[in-house]
Amino acid sequence: MSKLFKYEFRKSLFSKLIFVGITGVMEIVYLIGLFRDLEDMMVIGMLGLFFTALAGISFIGIESILILYRDLTTKQSYMLFMTPNNSYKILGSKALENAFSVLLSGVFFGGMAALDFFLLGRKNIQIKDILDILTSMLKEVDPRLQISAPALAALLLMILCSWVLQITTGYLAVVLACTFLSGKKGAAVISFVFYIAISMLTGWISKKIPGPKEAIPLLIFEACIFLAWSIVMYFITAWIMDKKLSV
């Protein structure tokens, strides 16, 4: 599976490098602004970094679904399905690579943010405002959350698992389009509607499950629910691939 993982990572390497490049440019803009006391440049750099992080992490997930679609609908599918790897391994390597890439991106962008805040503090600029912004962002998620390392970690875990669920649901929609709906009119639209319906259904069922009252345990509980749904999606998708998929 490690070999499949390696090649999955390679497939999206180019786009990852583009985001690293944009981040580098934005970081330079930010640092020039910071050390030359050019406030406008600093703000442009900060905003650039924020939106690059947001777009980068979102794109990594979406690209994974697009790669699966390409891997199932073009002749490149032979590269996967000629090898002695079953559908569970093939799909599993894709899901794991995506979760790893999203996590790695989170660590990368989080590390950059920490470094930039640290440099901001070294320049004796008040970072209280920034902390206030972060706290208000946390309170948007849950009013009981205070800014702390465990709260941030739990929040990031919940976001990661929620994103993995979106991706695995996307995989299911793609595989349905390439199996049961293959060659049928409106297959793409039907599979997209299916994706929306499944996302709403999993969200609705998840909300019905009683969880802990405290903020951090609740975030961890939600992460576990998302992860459980992701595993269900993964097994359904791999089973359909195993039984029905022709490439």
Partner 1 sequence: MLESREITKVFGRKTAVDHISLKLEPGYIYAMLGPNGSGKTTWMKMAAGLIKPASGEMYYAGRPLDVNSRRDIAYMSTEPYFYNWMTAADVGKYYQDFFEDFSMEKYHRLLSDMELTGDLKTRSLSSGMMAKLKIAVTMARDARVIMLDEPLNGIDLLARDQIMKSIVEAVSPDRILLISSHLVEELETVADYAVFIKQSHLIEVRGLEELRASEGISVVDRYRRIYANAGGENE
Which residue ranges make up the site for partner 1 (CB under 8 A)? 3, 6-7, 10-11, 14, 75-79, 81-86, 183, 243-247
* Pair of tokens at residue 43: 């703000």
Would you say 43 and 95 are in contact if contact means Cβ atoms under 8 Å apart? no
Residue 60, amino acid: I
Residue 84 or residue 143: which is nearer to partner 1 going by CB?
84
Which of these, 101, 100, 95, 123, lies nearest to 37 by C-alpha position?
A: 123
Residue 224 or residue 245: which is nearer to partner 1 going by CB?
245
Would you say 238 and 87 are in contact if contact means Cβ atoms under 8 Å apart? yes
Least Å from the CB of residue 23 to partner 1: 22
Which SS3 state, helix, strand or coil, does residue 137 take? helix
Least Å from the CB of residue 173 to partner 1: 20
Least Å from the CB of residue 213 to partner 1: 47
Residue 159 or residue 240: which is nearer to partner 1 going by CB?
240
How many CB atoms within 10 Å of residue 216? Answer: 19
* Sign of the Cα pseudo-torsion (210, 213, 219, 220, in order): negative
How many CB atoms within 10 Å of residue 64? Answer: 24
Distances (CA, A) of 77 to 38, 72, 92: 51, 5, 16
Residue 12 or residue 168: which is nearer to partner 1 going by CB?
12
Least Å from the CB of residue 170 to partner 1: 21
Least Å from the CB of residue 246 to partner 1: 4
Residue 82 or residue 149: which is nearer to partner 1 going by CB?
82
